Chain A
Amino acid sequence: MPLYDLLTGPMLYTWSFFIALAVFFIGILYRIIGFFRLNIGPNLPVFTMAGRIKAFLSGLFGILASPARIFHLFKTVILDVVLQLPLLRQDFLKWVMHICIFWGFAGLFFFHALEGYVSEVIFSNYLSTLNPFMALRNIAGVMVMAGLVIAVYRRKTHFRLRQISRRPDYLAIALLALIMISGFGLEAAKIISSGVFYEMVEEYGSLDEEELPALKAVWQEEFNVQFPGETIEVTPELMEEGELLNEDNCAACHANPRSAFVSYPISVAMTPVAGFFNRNRLDALILKIHFLSCFLALAYLPFSKFLHILTTPVSLMISGLAGQQIKRDENRATRRVFDLSACTQCGTCTSHCAVGPLYEILDNPWVFPSERVTRIRESAWGRPMEPESRDAFSLGSFICTMCNKCSQICPAGLDLQDIWKETRERLAEESLPDPVIRIRDLRKKQTPEKAGLQTPVVIKPGKNPLIASLKRSFQTATFSQCYTCLTCTSTCPVTGVTGEIREFGSAPHQVIHALVLGQTDLAKDASIVWDCLTCYKCQENCPQGVRITDIFYQLKNMVYHQEFGI
């Protein structure tokens, strides 16, 4: 059956590799085109893709032509990219985590996965079965595993990281873990494998049939190879002969497997099931799991947070060279799109966000910068915002105080400030401006229909729940002390400018009086509430201790609650 052959035969490696590689390159091409094509921010002015590529190339040339900037770039690469010093300054554990994964994986990638192109070229005596390479491979594997454990620990224990960690974060960790575990498992399976032993004897050994038991005895006793269904009678003489054979045939190219200090203990633990393993050649199965998980990661890279392996070094270089001061608008537009793909969802911005704690009260994930980055990226790459989330996203975007802290601490060097600024402009353009402005507009629309302009105010009997809630607060309950002396209105700078107090709602005393009469709707729609400077002059001067400005704040809070549910 051809499909069966494809899945099990020796061709599996080749075709799965080339498919993964093709997906990888198509994905990368798709990303690169997107970096120059997509736009974060208002729809106008849009630069042409050619214009942006031209601006990028001219910027790049400017860097390459200047020795000072090349030196600066080199410094950034060493300090920020290779040594990750910004991360070290922020959080030691996080630095350990990332360095372990980064250096461990880079080591495995270049010296193990690409051994034919790197290790064999650099080291004339390179053999994957020799030391120090065998031990180093285990060290690198342990580093990655340790990093992954710290990563999961941090995401599970840090209360803010727990809130923002999503499936893609754990998927990335799981995929790396699968590669590492299958790697160790493969090495352990090869250690115990009699099949691998026979293959290697066949290929590299030059010994007679009758010498084989001695070598087998040594490899079983010393190196934990398991020969299912065979009992080798181990005698000191046999071992002595085997040791000599091992010296002559194996040792020059194969170090003691105990140097694989992680895989060897695993192989010892596997001894009880070694018979089953070896009879079914499960080492071949683990090999398939190992390379298939690597190829999966390769194909997944352009479409996942793994992309940061390629993008973040570049964003760190841009940040090191230009900071937040990119001159050309075209390049700023390209950087915005690029930066979104360099975000690693590490949560640093969110943990330090000036308004991040509001999540606990507003229950709105978009107050978190890292969540907004993810959503803006998804929108840009073709997944528009769900209609029901639009309000909440706008609210989160505008509650940001633009304090620039996120851009200053981002370990990937993103210029988030620019992304926030442009996104806000886009939102305003899409009629989702700052909720403050939207609420003002709503109030204005309601003004003509308000009672009390043409028709007399009717005082309704019974309890008004809003009045009751005002009375519950020691600050706002003070409205009932008003005796309408108009001191507030005569000190109000806004009334002083707008002048017209005959129209209801433009003077503070009218609002307080409306509350005294139980007319909360009139009070909430009063223009002075929404044009209040919050200068507190009225409250300062009120002879009755009415906390007028704070009452206005409370009225605004009520309308917010009514309109946005917060």
Chain B
Amino acid sequence: MKYALFSGCRTGFDIPQHPKSAKAVLSRLNVQTQELDFGCCGYPAKEKNLDAFLLLAIRNLAMAQAHNLPVLTLCKCCFGSLKQAEYYFKNDPDKQVRINSILQKEGLYYDGGVKIHHMLTLLDREIDQDLLRQCITHPLDGIKVAPSYGCHALRPSTITGFDDRPNAPTIFERIIALTGAEPVNWSRRLECCGNPLLEKNSSLAQTFILEKYKTAEQEGADIICMACNYCHMQFEHGRDLILKSGSTPPIPAMLITQLLGRAMGLEKDRTGAETAA
């Protein structure tokens, strides 16, 4: 199967290790990826103008449609954004006309139906679990991993369809368990990381991320794992804050693709720099 890899804007400069590690892991699983000239998922424009959000999101889906490929996102916010945009688009004929008339200028058109996957849903639903198990050559036995779910993929669940039980999801834990690590039943796994408020209300944003670090450590986690660009940036930001305050360094926070890369025995240079542990 081949997917159009939607890495997300933040990977271009801040988190190049995310697509890098994702590609390394996917090639192990015989999943082909193609990089299209994708733009922004629309998420940053959503609070400014709904049509702007829709145009950016639908444009990506139209590109995938033109190449007849399903979309694979790495970031929870990109995933939620594309899912929501498709929902709006499907249910609002006026928006369909407006967006398509703009897309037409660059020879694009969207009429729905492009499949949107997130890395976790792909691993859970599209990949043969036996194959996945076979690829885990270096099981992470004895490591306790706390999954940070990421809001925008999980909710609103009727639109995103990320996990059947949005208030008690298990998809992330299932993937972590495959690596041989032990998922921690972390009380704050479904909480927001705080990144959306980072530039608007930084003290509030800090409260959330510091709380996540604190509770994960208290509840016995060795590693925090996330599958979202914005969560990753927020955990890095939280780490900087903790280090700056002179406290003991927090536990590492790494991407699921890097965790999988470790369990698959991939070289460090194929999965990119993890957080300095």
Contact = CB atoms under 8 A, between A and B. Distances in A.
Interface of A: 159-160, 352-358, 360-362, 399, 401-405, 408, 417, 434-437, 440, 473-475, 493-494, 497-498, 530-537, 539-541, 547, 549, 553-554, 556-557, 560-561, 566
Interface stretch (B7-15, B132-140, B176-184, B254-262): B7-15
Given A399-B48, A417-B13, A535-B196, 17 more contacts: A354-B9, A355-B39, A358-B55, A360-B55, A399-B45, A402-B14, A403-B13, A403-B40, A435-B48, A437-B200, A533-B192, A535-B155, A536-B152, A536-B154, A540-B155, A547-B156, A566-B48
Contacts of A440: 200-201
Q: Among A354, A408, A549, which residue has the most Cβ atoms of chain B within 10 A?
A: A354
Given A357-B102, A440-B200, A535 B39 contact: no
B101 to A, nearest CB: 9
B66 interface: no
B56 interface: yes
Given A357-B59, A474-B92, A494-B204, A539 B50 contact: no
A529 to B, nearest CB: 10
B13 A493 contact: no
A163 to B, nearest CB: 10
Contact of B44 (A159, A401, A417, A556): A401
B199 A437 contact: yes
Interface string B103-118: 0011000000000000
A98 B12 CA distance: 28
A327 to B, nearest CB: 17
B39 A354 contact: yes
Interface in B82-96: 88, 91-92
B250 interface: no
Interface in B151-166: 151-152, 154-157, 166
A356 B201 CA distance: 28
Contacts of A434: 199
A361 B52 contact: yes
Nearest to A158: B106
The 7 closest A-B CB pairs, nearest first, are A403-B9, A404-B12, A536-B155, A404-B13, A401-B9, A535-B192, A535-B151
Contact of B197 (A401, A404, A531, A553): A531
A536 B105 CA distance: 34
A437 B201 CA distance: 9
Interface of B: 9-10, 12-14, 37-40, 44-52, 55-56, 59, 88, 91-92, 102, 105-106, 151-152, 154-157, 166-167, 191-192, 194, 196-197, 199-201, 204, 207-208
Contact of B166 (A474, A540, A556): A540
B196 A533 contact: yes
The prevalent SS among residues of A at the interface is: helix
Nearest to A433: B199
A408 to B, nearest CB: 7
Nearest to B51: A361
11 contacts: A358-B52, A360-B105, A361-B51, A402-B13, A403-B13, A404-B12, A474-B91, A474-B92, A533-B197, A534-B196, A537-B151
A535 B191 CA distance: 8
Nearest to B60: A354
B151 A533 contact: yes
A188 B160 CA distance: 71
A485 B179 CA distance: 43
B45 A556 contact: no
Contact of B156 (A493, A530, A536): A536
A198 B44 CA distance: 75
Q: Among B91, B92, B157, B192, which residue has the most Cβ atoms of chain A within 10 A?
A: B192
Given A357-B56, A436-B199, A536-B151, A554 B13 contact: no
A356 B39 contact: yes
Nearest to B201: A531
Contacts of A159: 105-106
Contacts of A408: 12
A534 B43 CA distance: 11
A531 B156 CA distance: 19
Contact of B88 (A436, A437, A475, A494): A475
A160 B37 CA distance: 15
Nearest to B44: A401
Nearest to A496: B191
A363 B212 CA distance: 41
A557 B48 contact: yes
